[in-house]
Structure 1
């Protein structure tokens, strides 16, 4: 018997995020009775984690096919996606069948987009295996791949049929990757739920470990923040933009680093940068900026980046998804838990804020 908790993401296509230990048995119910064939798209380096998923699905009577993809961001490209389309055709995946994505955020992004684009949309269930994927990538219906010009520039809004967060898989995540996932969790604390920050501040070492006393609560709270936001605004027409707090600089760092830089590490730096922008624009005070640095640093996340990288970063920012026409837009805080927008900041302001995070 699982100890699952459920968080519902509302909207036109509501679905549940199931969180707990021993919850894989709930997977067939999410896949549904109509499916006969289930294609399991999974990170190639996760044989021990994908095996129980395959066993549960086969035990439920589905014709199950494992489709390994490269690990990490290497999976999120056109060639890998086209390979999956060919696999779906070979396996005879129909509109009544299902795709299950197992792995980190890159694998779930890819699986979601493959499902959204195959036959104009087939049922998709996501089984995130990293903290980053559980609290961010797998929840919200954003799917996509990368191209040479930028990250996630090609994609679709396609809510999954369900998300299954088996907390037991977190023990297999390398420490640096787990800590990277904490960045999105902490971000959720700054934009919406300050209790997350308090839990991290009370026990930073516990927060940095999947065996910590508050792991489940941190996951649940971060997922609830995302569920509340995307349930009200699936397609990022307004409110959902707040989830991009820190991401304008973060995505630029990832691009400059050729996606070899951990997403969460980039987000931590990006959030500090956004806080500095907010301070310099008169939106928040220095104490709240300092809290950004302290909370991220307390769990081992970076808060600064190379001083000489600014010209390259600034160029990449022009392709940011929040840009409207020629106007660069940033999500900033107006106070703890309350977000606003900063549109068209001056070049002087942008550079001054970067000098605060440069090393």
Structure 2
């Protein structure tokens, strides 16, 4: 077992990473309330909720199971959790436990932030993407028809409890999607982590426990350091959006046919292309991302049935657009991300075309 800590003004909580089987006793030890709402989705709930309920003998335990999938990361699912809290008389002294992937983590956190203006919750992430990103840092929310994560709040969990063994139940596509978020950290400020990912790609794909322990702990540590310095995304935390402005637009125009980590991987390639196109980075930056993304069977070209104009329209609704100006995270090289303002839409269109099937050439 490995224990990290996220420290921000007025709040400290543990991030515990365990290689062994689902650690029910550790979850129990983190609950301070006698009334508990377990929140999961229809895919994860059959795997873990029954043994967790058994372990929580002596607590008053209730369950809320929401529909699985990004299309259900919406106010309807959020409202379902709130209705369950109301039906069972939950108050500020009670606690929610999110058991699932990034969508469950985000929605449960938002429900906890909303109910009575804030109650405790514990994150128990079961997907790689949730373990290295969604469960850490206190960003919670749901999607709106106009775009991804447009409704939400900052609300930190009481604890994040990660069990590597849960990854064994993931389909290969979902496991690989989590690597998209891991590669993001390398692009932000961890060039040596990029080298580690490249050198250990086979061990990671084979789910070697030691490799996964290092991968998850490294990503959680990187994120915790950034959140510690900028909890509410007023400065350096914006760098965590590397690849995400393009990625969120891809999710939106494709009606979430791409998993989040897949869209982020595509977004990283586009961010690298745009960085090169604007003269901030050398041409090999894009090639570096493409090689590693391909190694994890992630997409690096946008299908040509989505037009650059569609993506651009979706990007205009992104939270990071300020005063009508596109605000993107770009790079001056691997591990040297920065915030770029007022980027001309003509150049963004050129990048999208260069990263699309049938058009993958420099424009």
Change (3 A) 1:209 1:71: farther
Q: Partner residue of 2:73?
A: 76
- Residues of 2 paired with 1:354 and 1:90: CA distance? 48
Q: Partner residue of 2:34?
A: 36
Q: Partner residue of 1:26?
A: 26
SS in 2 for 1:66: strand
Q: Partner residue of 1:340?
A: 338
Where does 1:160-309 land on structure 2 (aligned, <5 Å)? 160-211=157-208, 213-307=210-304, 308-309=306-307
1:27-72 CA deviation, whole Å, 9 max, x = no partner? 123222xx110000111222112333323223xx211112111112
Change (3 A) 1:189 1:53: farther
Q: Partner residue of 1:357?
A: 355
Runs of 4+ in 1 over 4 A off after TM superposition: none
Conservation of the 8 A alpha-carbon contact between 2:24 and 2:55: yes
Q: Aligned-pair distance for 1:339? A: 1.4
Q: Aligned-pair distance for 1:129? A: 0.2
- Using the TM superposition, name which of 241-250 and 340-349 deviates more: 340-349
- Using the TM superposition, name which of 305-314 and 267-276 deviates more: 305-314
* Aligned counterpart for 2:320 among listed residues 322, 332, 339: 322
- Residues of 1 paired with 2:128 and 2:295: CA distance? 18
- Residues of 1 paired with 2:332 and 2:49: CA distance? 43
The unaligned stretches of length 5 or more in structure 1 are: none
Q: Partner residue of 1:51?
A: 50
1:207-234 CA deviation, whole Å, 9 max, x = no partner? 2232365111011111111111111111
User: Under a length normalisation based on structure 1, what TM-score does the superposition of the two structures give?
Assistant: 0.95
Where does 1:70-109 land on structure 2 (aligned, <5 Å)? 70-109=67-106
- Residues of 1 paired with 2:337 and 2:345: CA distance? 22
Conservation of the 8 A alpha-carbon contact between 2:19 and 2:209: no
- Give RMSD over aligned pairs: 1.4
- Residues of 1 paired with 2:39 and 2:79: CA distance? 13
Q: Aligned-pair distance for 1:348? A: 2.3
How many equivalent pairs are there?
352
Q: Aligned-pair distance for 1:83? A: 1.8
- Residues of 1 paired with 2:99 and 2:71: CA distance? 15
- Residues of 2 paired with 1:277 and 1:52: CA distance? 48
SS in 2 for 1:335: coil
Q: Partner residue of 1:65?
A: 62
SS in 1 for 2:8: coil
Q: Partner residue of 1:16?
A: 14
SS in 2 for 1:14: strand
- Using the TM superposition, name which of 109-118 and 77-86 deviates more: 77-86
The unaligned stretches of length 5 or more in structure 2 are: 358-363
Q: Aligned-pair distance for 1:335? A: 2.6
Conservation of the 8 A alpha-carbon contact between 1:246 and 1:271: yes
Change (3 A) 1:147 1:7: same
- Residues of 2 paired with 1:346 and 1:82: CA distance? 39
SS in 2 for 1:260: coil
Change (3 A) 1:207 1:48: same
- Residues of 1 paired with 2:328 and 2:35: CA distance? 43
Q: Aligned-pair distance for 1:245? A: 0.2
1:101-148 CA deviation, whole Å, 9 max, x = no partner? 010100110100011100110000010000000011111100001111
- Residues of 2 paired with 1:263 and 1:125: CA distance? 22
Conservation of the 8 A alpha-carbon contact between 2:66 and 2:80: no
- Residues of 1 paired with 2:250 and 2:203: CA distance? 28
